[in-house]
Chain A
Amino acid sequence: MKQVLPVTEADTLQSLQSGDQKALKLVYRQHYQTIMNLVLNNGGSLQEAKDVYQEALIVFYEKLQEDDFELNCTIKTFIYSVSRRLWLKQLQRKSRYTDDLSDTDEFIQVESEDMEQKEDQYHAMQVALEGLGEPCRSILKDFYLNNQSMDDITEKFGYTNSDNAKNQKYKCLKRLKKTFFEVYQKTGNNNDQQERN
């Protein structure tokens, strides 16, 4: 059943969906205190509170960009629930497992598989990119992130012809894939193990 949102919430959601920077700032300020308290009251530091909160906001923001996403609760409850889930997972990692947090707000069960997969993808890509030397990192970033053409790259990196550049890109991508899949599969396995515990 779809809950009717107050006008302001709906407005906020719409602004966020359209990438409005001010709305993001507003939402950030509105809920920071709540999440900070949640993490601090459950054995976390200020730095950890900040990290959890920002990760939760990223999840929320990414969800909003999905076409079929429907928010069935308030923004606050959603962010609180995601943060709660993330913090529980962190506590689990620190092997201080508990499913009993001291809560200050109501929360819903959030589907975490999807958001964990994205986090794993992000993490694996980050590690793989960091592990690459130059010029590989810049070439791949230019091609895949900055949407530059192979011709641009040939010129920018001073290759004699575009075939040389393509060959270099191919080698770089091969190396990136290797690290990426190593890290990605490892984190995937870890998650499985944790689920079973």
Chain B
Amino acid sequence: MTNKRETDELIERYCQGQLTPEELRIFDQWRESDPEMANAIDDHRLITDSFRIFAERTDLKKKLAVIHNEMESEQFVYKSPLKVVEKSDSKVRLLWKRYRVAAVAAVAAIIAVSSTILYYDLAGGGAVKNQNAYRELRREVENIKRKQKALLQDQNSSISKDQEQDQTQSFTGTGFAITSNGYVLTSYHVVEDATSIYISNEKLGQVQVKTVYTDKSLDLAVLKVDDVDFKGFTEMPYSFKKSISDPGEKVFTLGFPREDLVYNEGSISSYTGYEGDTTAYQISIPVNPGNSGGPLFDNQGNLLGIISGKNSSAEGASFAVKSKWISDYIFKQREVANITIPSRKNLKGADRPAQIKKLKDFVFMVKVYN
């Protein structure tokens, strides 16, 4: 054993040119007289060469992945999905009418931004102070125009399948961490038909995730971070509420209806969701496309549910899947049975800004390409 190890080390030093002249003289003789030795040297060179190739390629692959993500996020289309249930559609409860909502939002955004520009133009003229802000805004408008164009194209059903395939389609939604080792929960309709999914926030940066489990009827998807460099989230600060909450309870959510995290609050309005759906609450929180998959918390920072959609024909009626169903049903499934639901109550008693400060690292924008 030791003998073999010494031979190995000798070969290694020989390949690195580290032998003394005396050693080299003996080694060369050995090498020439023993064909097995020559083979061993070739094998060793192949291994070290492969190590080098592996290191270089791994490094290059990482660089290319970064370049690709950057490119994709610039071409980003804000067609954030949001499940919308309408009275007229009672038969097809799981039909998402995301395009219409997104288009309305995009148009509204254009109007909002354009009028701001007008304001700057009139008030500031060419004032140096405002130039930075002005440029920023214009880029935003260009962005939104492009987004809207893409939206209109999507709505246009006459586009052939081939043409559609040429365009990378992207969606965003919200998701949140459920374990510190990288499991994330979001809405199923956010990640439906995805070819690649990324999550990002200020602290985490952007990492790729894969789908671990989905449930279409509850509109839930469990994702897991799929990145070798991922070190884990810090300890979960919140817990899953196991009981049902009552109407009147104050609730809040965090989500990514735009590129930055947005806070919204309201209260639980009903024990049941759309058309008496007992798996969901009706809540009075203004939600927008992109809020889908966002967490719903109570005053103590317990997780009550996950935002799933809203009623387009009624004002201020949004829906959230109950946490009880997530813990009682989803995490009983085989694929995700190993997940331990968080049960810490680190947010109890803290005021809202302090709670948000802790929570924001656990809420992510979910970017989906398909």
Tell me which residues across on chain B come within 8 A of A110, comparing CB atoms: none
Partner of B64 from the list A28, A46, A166 (CB cut-off 8 Å) is A28
B88 beta carbon closer than 8 Å to chain A: no
Once the chains bind, are B47 and A122 in contact (CB under 8 Å)? Answer: no
A1 CB to nearest chain B CB (Å):
31
A32 CB within 8 Å of chain B: yes
Is B48 an interface residue when CB atoms closer than 8 A count as contact?
yes
Known A37-B166, A121-B46, A173-B8; contact A46-B53, beta-carbon cutoff 8 A: no
Are A121 and B53 in touch, CB under 8 angstroms?
Answer: yes
Interface pick from B55-63, B89-97, B103-111, B250-258: B55-63
**A96 interface residue per 8 A CB criterion:** no
Specify which chain A residues have a CB less than 8 angstroms from the CB of B60 in the assembled complex.
Answer: 58, 61
Contact assessment for B54 and A167 in the assembled complex, using a CB-CB cutoff below 8 Å: no
Per the bound structure, the CA–CA distance linking A50 and B196 in Å amounts to 11
B195 beta carbon closer than 8 Å to chain A = yes
The A26-51 residues at the B interface (CB cut-off 8 A) are 28-29, 32, 36-37, 40, 45-47, 50
- Grouping DSSP codes into helix (H, G, I), strand (E, B) and loop, the B interface class, with mixed when no group exceeds half, is helix
Residue A8 interfacial (CB < 8 Å): no
- Which residues from 38 to 77 on chain B have a C-beta closer than 8 Å to any C-beta of chain A? 43, 46-51, 53-57, 60-61, 63-65, 67-68, 70-71
CB <8 Å contact, A170 and B67: no
Q: Categorize the interface residue count of chain A.
A: 35 or more
- Nearest B residue to A177 by beta-carbon distance? B47
Contact residues in B for A176 (Cβ distance below 8 Å) = 47
**Is B131 located at the chain interface by the 8 A CB criterion?**
no
Inter-chain contact B67/A46, CB cutoff 8 Å: no
**Chain A stretch 44-79: residues in CB contact (< 8 A) with chain B:** 45-47, 50, 54, 57-58, 61-62
Q: Nearest Cβ distance between residue A33 and chain B, in whole angstroms?
A: 9
Residues in A neighbouring B64, C-beta threshold 8 A = 24, 28, 54, 57-58
A40 vs B195: C-alpha distance when bound (angstroms):
14
A121 and B56 form a contact (CB under 8 A): no
Q: Are B55 and A167 in contact (CB under 8 A)?
A: no
Report whether B54 and A32 are in contact in the complex, using a CB–CB cutoff of 8 Å.
no
A153 at interface by CB-CB < 8 Å:
no
> In the complex, how many angstroms separate the beta carbon of B67 from the nearest chain A beta carbon?
5
- Residues of B contacting A124 in the complex (Cβ-Cβ under 8 angstroms): 50
**B74 → A minimal CB distance (Å):** 10
Q: Cβ of A32: which chain B residues have Cβ within 8 Å of it?
A: 68, 71
Cα–Cα distance between A170 and B5 once the two chains are bound (Å)? 6
Q: Does B327 contact A (CB under 8 A)?
A: no
What does DSSP make chain A's interface, helix, strand, loop or mixed? helix
Contact B196 A121 (CB under 8 A): no
Is A28 a contact of B67 with CB atoms below 8 Å? Answer: yes
On chain A, the residues within 8 Å of B53 by CB distance are 118, 121-122, 125
Interface string of B339-370 (1 = CB under 8 A from A): 00000000000000000000000000000011
Given known A-B contacts A28-B64, A122-B57, A125-B53, A166 and B46 have beta carbons under 8 A apart? no
Give Cα distance in the complex from A167 to B55, angstroms: 24
Task: Flag whether B33 is at the interface (Cβ < 8 A).
Answer: no
Q: Is the CB of A122 within 8 A of B54?
A: yes
| B59 smallest CB distance to A (angstroms) | 10
Smallest CB separation, A67 vs chain B (Å): 16
> How many Å from the CB of A185 to the closest CB on chain B?
11
B154 at the interface (CB under 8 A from A): no
Contact in complex: B9, A166 (CB < 8 Å): yes
Contact call A47/B196, Cβ cutoff below 8 A? yes
Not counting A118-B53, A170-B5, a sample of 7 additional A-B residue pairs whose C-beta atoms are within 8 angstroms of each other reads A25-B67, A28-B64, A28-B71, A37-B166, A54-B64, A54-B68, A125-B51
The residues of A with any CB-CB pair to B shorter than 8 Å are 21, 24-25, 28-29, 32, 36-37, 40, 45-47, 50, 54, 57-58, 61-62, 118, 121-122, 124-126, 129, 144-145, 166-167, 170, 173, 176-177, 180-181, 184
The contact sample of 26 A-B pairs, CB cut-off 8 A, is: A24-B67, A25-B70, A28-B67, A29-B71, A32-B68, A32-B71, A40-B165, A46-B168, A50-B68, A54-B61, A54-B64, A54-B68, A57-B64, A58-B57, A58-B61, A62-B57, A122-B53, A125-B51, A125-B54, A144-B51, A145-B55, A166-B9, A167-B5, A170-B8, A170-B9, A180-B47
Residues of B within 8 A of A (CB): 5, 8-9, 43, 46-51, 53-57, 60-61, 63-65, 67-68, 70-71, 165-166, 168, 195-196, 369-370
